[in-house]
């Protein structure tokens, strides 16, 4: 089955000039007869569906004990509880810290922006623990008492969850 340029443009929802460009460049199968492009409808139908075929589907992110241990968590099972503790939550949240040999913070950055050492300490103190509970399949945290000017504890927690999702998607 074949279609003329105007009919093909109407079917594809593009202009006739676009159809002519597709014909010239070989995007769709077509032949030129008597100065008009005759377009193969099967080739045109495939070209119309192509963007939907090439669209990436978002990766499904499953919070499981295995994925949490794969991104660096430590599994803990006792008294019927099954948890995975994420001790490196600061790295997942985008808090990069370097320390002196004494353990004090020498430099820090929050999500790529340099911050003061005291604000980095307060960001570290805004969340005490981060864990995944296998019983309910959710991430949990225990907030600390420190509050930073750079980010609220809820902002830090949101960054942790985003970082965990990104780390699992990268597996």
Give the CA-trace dihedral at 64, 158, 112, 148, to 10 degrees.
-130
28, 74: one domain: no
For the stretch 115-170, pLDDT in tens is: 999 999 999 999 999 999 999 999 999 999 999 999 999 999 999 999 999 999 88
pTM over 0.75: no
pLDDT at 2 (0 to 100): 64
In a domain, 39, yes or no: yes
What's 60's DSSP letter? Answer: P
37, 120: one domain: no
pLDDT at 78 (0 to 100): 93
Domain count, the chain: 2
For the stretch 32-88, pLDDT in tens is: 888 888 888 888 888 888 888 888 777 678 889 999 999 999 999 999 999 999 999
91, 147: one domain: yes
Q: What domain range includes position 25?
A: 2-54
For the stretch 3-23, pLDDT in tens is: 788 888 888 888 989 988 988
H runs (alpha helix) in the chain: 5-12, 16-25, 41-54, 65-70, 89-93, 117-125, 153-169
């Amino acid at each position: 089955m074949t279609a003329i340029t105007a009919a093909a443009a109407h079917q594809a929802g593009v202009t006739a000039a676009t159809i002519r460009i597709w014909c010239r460049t070989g995007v769709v199968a077509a032949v030129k007869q008597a100065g008009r492009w005759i377009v193969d409808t099967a080739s045109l139908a495939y070209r119309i569906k192509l963007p939907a075929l090439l669209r990436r589907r978002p990766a499904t992110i499953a919070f499981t004990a295995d994925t949490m241990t794969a991104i660096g968590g430590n599994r803990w099972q006792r008294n019927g509880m099954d948890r995975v503790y994420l001790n490196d939550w600061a790295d997942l949240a985008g808090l990069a810290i370097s320390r002196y040999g004494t353990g004090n913070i020498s430099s820090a950055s929050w999500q790529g922006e340099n911050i003061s050492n005291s604000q980095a300490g307060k960001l570290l103190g805004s969340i005490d623990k981060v864990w995944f509970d296998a019983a309910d399949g959710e991430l949990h945290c225990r907030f600390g008492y420190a509050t930073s000017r750079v980010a609220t504890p809820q902002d830090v927690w949101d960054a942790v969850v985003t970082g965990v999702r990104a780390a699992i998607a990268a597996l």
